[in-house]
């Protein structure tokens, strides 16, 4: 099986300012070795470059400016790679450093290259250690965080399992730091608005994501057919127990009809250029594999041309909270969509004086992430 293990900064950073949590990395390395011994192919997505770099530079807080963060990442990435290399050496296991950028995967060729290189590394028996190339990726163009990156990597290698190791036991009914009665949710069959609501928001001092970004990553990865597990980084040996059928942390079951590879780039390669908010009827239609018609579009956010990728949101009636449900390539510009939203297809030609077809986004260009 193909397995992705994601470790966050809050787990990677050790007690001393400039050190990595070597004990944890050593344990993860041992687990990866065991997984490989029984025939699995494993990829690690590791954060920690910025955190470790800050420590080495003597900074006690994460810097505010982007360039300072990028500089810290340059310093820290080398420290991070060295710790992995040192522990994998003990098992004579070769590793490869892969630094991905969103901009590099913006076009389909870049996306395909990343896929082919990772596949090659796995065939060679190498364990890829992946992070974002923070030096070239500023806040505008970066992957939102490494949780998201781990979902992208799961798609790239077509992983069966993604393990997100973090500083809590899993997803709870409420924030366990605030409410001791909060209960661990063991299995999530579908990531609906209730689950998204349980995720809270903020990350830790050094990390970036928090539970909510893990849920968004789980939503993406399960839509590609990957089973996602969120569990405590305290005991990485549980990864093996989970694969043997035991229950630990929170498991998110994969979608029964995963997004196919052709649409994966739409879902996670291209960076979206605008947003659409759709209504109930449109959500029901796209969930059944139909195209998105102008009649189901309630709102257009941003200015964009034809042929770009858009994020598609649905607003829950109870709380008006928009949640992402799909991504797709628009046939019409934002100006055109503003004129034809809410209208039946027959009106398109009348209103615009031309038509690119009945749908705003054709079903072949639509990757439905959640319904």
Contacts with ligand GLU, residue ranges (CB under 6 A): 8-9, 47-51, 73, 131-132, 134, 145-146, 207-209
Q: How far is CA 58 from CA 17, 61, 312, in A?
A: 8, 9, 43
Nearer to ligand GLU, 151 or 325 (CB): 151
The least distance separating ligand GLU from the CB of residue 158, rounded to whole angstroms, comes to 23
- Secondary element (H or E) of residue 309: strand 309-315
Nearer to ligand GLU, 31 or 137 (CB): 137
The nearer residue to ligand GLU, 101 or 359, going by C-beta atoms, is 101
Task: Return the number of the residue (73 or 199) whose C-beta is nearest ligand GLU.
Answer: 73
Q: Is the separation of the CB atoms in 33 and 189 below 8 Å?
A: no
Closest CA relative to residue 190, chosen from 128, 263, 255, 249: 255
Q: How far is the CB of 13 from ligand GLU (least distance, A)?
A: 9
> Smallest gap, in angstroms, from Cβ of residue 348 to ligand GLU?
42
300 — phi, psi (to 5°)? -120, 130
Tell me whether residue 55 or residue 296 sits nearer to ligand GLU (CB atom).
Answer: 55
DSSP label at residue 323: E
Nearest distance, CB of residue 207 and ligand GLU, angstroms: 6
Nearer to ligand GLU, 74 or 240 (CB): 74
d(CA 96, CA 85): 9
The DSSP element (H or E) to which 152 belongs, if any, is helix 146-157
Separation CA 107–CA 270 (nearest Å): 7
184: phi then psi, degrees, rounded to nearest 5 = -70, 135
Task: Compare residues 145 and 155 and give the one whose CB is closer to ligand GLU.
Answer: 145
Q: How does strand 227-232 pair with strand 250-252? A: antiparallel
* Distance from C-alpha of 34 to C-alpha of 93, rounded to nearest angstrom: 11
Minimum distance, C-beta of residue 52 to ligand GLU, in the bound complex (Å): 8
CB of 213 to ligand GLU, least distance (A): 8
State in angstroms the smallest separation of the CB of 51 from ligand GLU: 6
98 vs 292 by CB, closer to ligand GLU: 98
To the nearest whole angstrom, how small is the minimum distance from the Cβ of residue 132 to ligand GLU?
A: 4
Cα separations (Å) of 1 from 4, 36, 145? 10, 10, 25
> Which pair of tokens denotes residue 226?
């990957």
User: In this structure, what are the phi and psi dihedrals at residue 165, rounded to the nearest 5 degrees?
Assistant: -90, 130
Count CA atoms closer than 13 A to 200's CA, side-chain side: 18
């Amino acid at each position: 099986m193909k397995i992705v293990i994601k470790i966050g900064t809050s787990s990677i950073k050790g007690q001393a300012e400039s050190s990595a949590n070597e004990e944890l990395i050593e344990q993860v390395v041992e687990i990866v070795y065991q997984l490989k011994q029984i025939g699995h192919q494993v990829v690690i997505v590791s954060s920690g470059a910025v955190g470790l770099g800050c420590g080495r530079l003597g900074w006690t807080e994460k810097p505010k400016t982007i360039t300072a963060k990028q500089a810290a990442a340059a310093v820290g990435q080398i420290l991070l790679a060295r710790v992995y290399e040192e522990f994998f050496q003990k098992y004579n296991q070769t590793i490869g450093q892969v630094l991905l950028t969103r901009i590099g995967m913006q076009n389909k060729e870049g996306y395909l290259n990343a896929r082919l290189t990772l596949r090659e590394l796995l065939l060679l028996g190498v364990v890829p250690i992946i992070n974002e190339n923070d030096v070239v990726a500023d806040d505008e163009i970066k992957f939102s965080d490494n949780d998201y990156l781990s979902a992208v990597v799961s798609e790239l290698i077509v992983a069966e399992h993604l393990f997100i190791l973090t500083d809590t036991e899993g997803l709870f009914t409420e924030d366990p730091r605030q409410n001791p009665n909060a209960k661990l949710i063991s299995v999530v069959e579908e990531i609906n608005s209730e689950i998204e609501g349980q995720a809270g928001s903020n990350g830790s001092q050094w990390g970036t994501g928090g539970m909510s970004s893990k849920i968004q990553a789980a939503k993406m990865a399960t839509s590609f057919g990957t089973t996602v597990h969120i569990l405590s980084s305290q005991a990485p040996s549980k990864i093996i127990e989970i694969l043997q059928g035991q229950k630990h942390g929170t498991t998110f079951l994969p979608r029964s009809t995963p997004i196919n590879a052709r649409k994966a780039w739409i879902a996670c390669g291209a960076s979206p250029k605008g947003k659409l908010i759709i209504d109930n009827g449109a959500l029901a239609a796209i969930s059944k594999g139909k195209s998105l018609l102008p009649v189901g579009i309630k709102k257009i956010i941003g200015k964009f041309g034809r042929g770009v990728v858009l994020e598609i949101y649905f607003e829950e009636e109870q709380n008006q909270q928009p949640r992402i449900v799909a991504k797709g390539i628009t046939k019409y510009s934002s100006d055109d969509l503003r004129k034809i939203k809410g209208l039946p297809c027959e009106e398109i030609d009348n209103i615009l004086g031309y038509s690119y077809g009945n749908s705003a986004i054709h079903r072949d260009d639509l990757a439905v992430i959640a319904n």
